[in-house]
Amino acid sequence: MDRNDVLSTPVAPCHKIIHTPYTGEAVARGVFAARKIARGELVEAAHCIFISRQEYTNHLRFTTLEHYIFHAKGDYLLALGVGSLFNHSSRPCLDFRIHREQLVINYIAARNIEEGEELTITYGTVWFEDRNMQSRREDGEDPMHHHMDDPDSFLGAVML
């Protein structure tokens, strides 16, 4: 994938935001397929806001935004667009690739997706345990997505 691929946009609008009461949030949302999406198709190219480790440790980890960021090799990214709205599934239909240098996260269909299906990513098998542990950690390290950009992890190993 070259730089132009990283910064590209989906071919045609393929998602919509719908109320999802199962998440338990006050304003619960999910991202759903507005049409059929083929395996390997770019679903979202989310441009990101860079957050330094110091900003995270001193401020962000104490805010609601802390639940919507991605760990990126020691720093953090807040995905714009619908990038931070994809809900978790242990059987996600999307893969994502963090391109830290370009401040972009690409979400790609890991399989064929039907119209109306919720578009999900995995937060990792330990995400919920890590979230509970986070409040007890004093060093400010956020383990939330640190394994997601590891080439040996599930998402890093998926080849489209």
Give me the DSSP letters along 30-86: EEEESS-B-TT-EEEEEEEEEE-HHHHHHTGGGSGGGGGEEEETTEEEEETTTTTTP
Q: How far apart are CA 93 and CA 29, in angstroms?
A: 17
Strand, helix or coil at 150? coil
How many domains, the chain?
1
Element (DSSP H or E) covering residue 127: helix 127-134
User: Does 80 score more than 90 pLDDT?
Assistant: yes
**Band of the pLDDT at 148, cuts 50, 70, 90?**
very low
> CATH code at 51?
2.170.270.10
Tokens for 95?
A: 């893969």
Contacts for 128 with CB less than 8 Å, ≥ 6 apart: none
Structure confidence at residue 73 (pLDDT): 80
Structure confidence at residue 14 (pLDDT): 77
Contacts for 89 with CB less than 8 Å, ≥ 6 apart: 118, 120, 121, 122
**Band of the pLDDT at 92, cuts 50, 70, 90?**
very high
Q: Which domain holds residue 87?
A: 3-157
Structure confidence at residue 109 (pLDDT): 96
Tokens for 11?
A: 């071919």
19-50 pLDDT, tens digit each = 666 666 666 788 999 999 999 999 999 999 99
